[in-house]
Amino acid sequence: MSSQLSDPFLMLDELGPVVYKKGEFAGAPWHPHRGFDTVMYMKEGEGQHQDSMGNKGILRRGDVQWMTAGSGIIHDEGKNHPGGLLHGFQMWVNLPKKHKMDDPCYQQITGENFPFVKVCDGVEVKCIVGKIMNPKDPEKVLVESPLKPIVPIEYLDVNMASGAKFSRSIDAQFDTLIVYVYQGRGKFTDGEKEWKELKRKDTILYSNEGQGLEIENVDKKEALGFLLLAGKKIKEPIAWRGPFVMNSMEEIEQAFDDYHSGTLVKAKGKEKVF
């Protein structure tokens, strides 16, 4: 998928689900980033992380780490998995030019503090970014994520029992809408186009026009699980090479020069855990 079409989302990578022996999973050893956000959602399993400025911690089942690389960070993630099932998602979100050289920072929500919540019969949602209104009282917020990204987005993990139906309105400010199915089968429509049946590993990109989404789990046995991403386009040039995402190739070359000269990291990342 073109990063211009999916703006502000650059990448969504699914890790597993795979069962590893203890010590078998190598993680992602030391590597740099500049110019965007990385978002790690650990559905199952756990892994340690650390960076070159001394920040460190562990991501466990249900945890989400939102890392703003900003001006530059070098980190090591996913190491020391204890063995067993490992399943997660890493998403990259672009930053506008005026924020690409911000100081790095971390925001993390813990799975036990921000679990799945029931929004209607047969439907549970984990609100990673954004908010869910109470279906019985649309004026009240049922749950709201404490994560506050620089670029406005919504990020939900939705689980639906067999036969369940779910309607989700999408904020009109979001002009990119993406659905990724990681489990089961479901029928999706944006309210005006034909229904599309999606299965595991299928992705669909909508151009949000304020009509929202309607979803039905059509599998008679298996639950439907999918990620819903909505975002506001940045509409700036994208220069992308390896671990760096900037606005021009000159800026990319500068990032590589800084990395090789040892000057990429300019500030220590601040951390907030919720």
Q: What pLDDT, in 10s, does the model give residues 50-86?
A: 888 888 888 899 999 999 999 999 999 888 888 899 9
| Same domain? 94 vs 143 | no
Q: What is the pLDDT of residue 192?
A: 67
Q: Within this chain, do residues 246 and 141 fall inside the same structural domain, yes or no?
A: no
Residue 16: which CATH number?
2.60.120.10
For residue 102, with 0-12 CB atoms within 10 Å meaning exposed, 13-18 middle and 19 or more buried, which class applies? middle
Domain containing 245 equals 9-111+236-273
Residues 105 and 140 placed together within one structural domain of the fold:
no
Whole-model pTM: value is 0.92
Confidence of residue 210 (pLDDT cuts 50, 70, 90): low
Gyration radius (Cα) of the chain, Å: 19
Residue 4 lies in a domain: no
Q: Output the six-digit token pair for 57.
A: 């911690």
Are residues 256 and 226 part of one domain?
no
In a domain, 85, yes or no: yes
- Predicted confidence band of residue 1 (pLDDT cuts 50, 70, 90): very low
In tens, the pLDDT along 225-273 reads: 999 999 999 999 999 999 999 999 999 999 999 999 999 998 888 888 8
Is the residue at 77 inside a domain? yes
Residues 107 and 190 in one domain: no
Residue 203 lies in a domain: yes
Report how many domains make up the chain: 2
CB-based contact 200:182 (threshold 8 Å): yes
Same domain membership, residue 62 and residue 84? yes
List Cβ neighbours of 37 (8 Å cut-off, separation of 6 or more): 66, 67, 68, 69, 92, 93, 94, 95, 149, 150, 151
Share of the chain above pLDDT 70, in %: 96
Same structural domain, 210 and 256 = no
* Same-domain check for residues 186 and 257: no
Distance CA 159, CA 133 (A): 17
- Same domain? For 106 and 199 the reply is no
